Amino acid sequence: MPRVLITGVTGQDGSYLAEMLIGKGYEVYGLIRRTSLVIDDRIRHLLDDVRLIDADLLDQLSLIKAVQTARPDEVYNLAAMSFVPTSFVQPVLTGEYTALGVAKMLEAVRLADWPIRFYQASSSEMFGKVHEIPQRETTPYHPRSPYGVAKVYGHWITVNYRESYKMYACCGILFNHESPRRGLEFVTRKISHAVARIKLGLQKELRLGNLDAKRDWGFAGDYVEAMWLMLQQAEPDDFVISTDETHSVGEFVRLAFECAGISNWQDYVRVDPNLLRPADVDILIGDSTKARTKLGWKPRVTFPELVEMMVKSDLDAEARGNTRAAIQATVR
Ligand code: G4F
């Protein structure tokens, strides 16, 4: 039975990845950071199959112990401070988690006396003020947030460990990927959740920032499959994972309202200048030809299907009067 250690197992991607690997017969270990609030909503249905290990990316020794306990064949480093606006408020902490946390995880893996394959969650946020359209593995990085800057460090330190120590280490440069399990602070889930509540008469308006920003949005469940495929190749490499389509925030809003049967969406949406970022990423659109050719990967869920899936899930949960149930509703 192969063994796997996932950091960030309680997050959106961690929960889909754990589910998939359990299905493939893996023994799954997940790092969990102790907090006073319970944060295991997304993996509660998996708790019989996932062994949780207390550790923190800020604490090197806890990571070494976690690796020694799990004795994994594969490590997926998904944990990070991943919300871009917070990275402007807490740039140093973001660097500690999202940049140096990667180096600490790599060190913990390097100390092991058995072979481990390592996956690093790199991000399309690294492309920032894009140097070419579409963005591919060779496109230069120009991050626009402390989060993006930290991800660039995480990316290059992983490449450096691969080149320096011949580690099997891969970076997946994932474009935005969403699902009903997405945190409520990210724009897609903020929209689907608000649309559901407006439809049910529980909320009057939806306040948003930059409606013109364009993103390449895919379904998180499809993207974890690409992570796994990267670690099954003969040689380690880095891959862009994207749908190769781009849509604006405004387009997402319009479609989401349409899914709920509301055509006059402009009546409900307010632009709030407080939600604009000091610097934003105007457009992201990937070119995932390399992943499609070498990994045989392609996304299954289309953009309209994604929007509909998220709105329906929030409508179901809100109709039952339970926001948290939105996460639970979709894990079964
Ligand atoms: O949903 P977002 O917060 O995602 P963002 O910043 O693109 O980052 C996400 O994707 C990255 C991959 O490229 C990940 F690495 C990262 O961890 C995260 O998952 O915002 C998307 C766009 C932005 O341009 C933002 O300005 O939506 C715009 N937006 C407009 N109004 C808003 C809002 N974003 C949020 N969160 N909230 C708003 O009210």
pLDDT tens digit sequence for 197-250: 999 999 999 999 999 999 999 999 999 999 999 999 999 999 999 999 999 999
pLDDT of 24 strictly over 60: yes
pLDDT at 332: 33
pLDDT at 273: 98
**pLDDT-derived band of residue 331, with 50, 70 and 90 as boundaries?**
very low
The mean-pLDDT minimum among 9-13, 18-22, 130-134, 321-325 falls in 321-325
pLDDT of 326 strictly over 80: no
- CATH for 187-214+246-283+302-331 (3.90.25.10, 3.40.640.10, 3.40.718.10, 1.20.1260.10): 3.90.25.10
Taking alpha carbons only, the member of 19, 51, 48 closest to residue 332 is 19
Expressed in angstroms and rounded, the spacing between residue 271 Cα and the centre of ligand 1 is: 15
Expressed in angstroms and rounded, the spacing between residue 114 Cα and the centre of ligand 1 is: 39
What's the mean pLDDT in 65-90? 98
Q: How far is CA 267 from the centre of its chain?
A: 31
Please tell me which residue in 15, 122, 123, 313 is annotated as part of the active site: 123
CA distances from 287 to 134, 200, 201, 241, 291 (A): 6, 39, 41, 8, 9
CATH number assigned to the domain covering 3-179+217-241 = 3.40.50.720
Contact 216, 243 (CB under 8 A): yes
Q: Is residue 124 annotated as a catalytic residue, yes or no?
A: no
Q: Which helix (H) or strand (E) holds 223?
A: helix 220-230
CATH 3.90.25.10 residue window(s) in the chain: 187-214+246-283+302-331
Ligand 1: does its nearest atom lie under 6 Å from the Cβ of 84? Answer: yes
pLDDT of 327 strictly over 70: no
SS3 178: strand
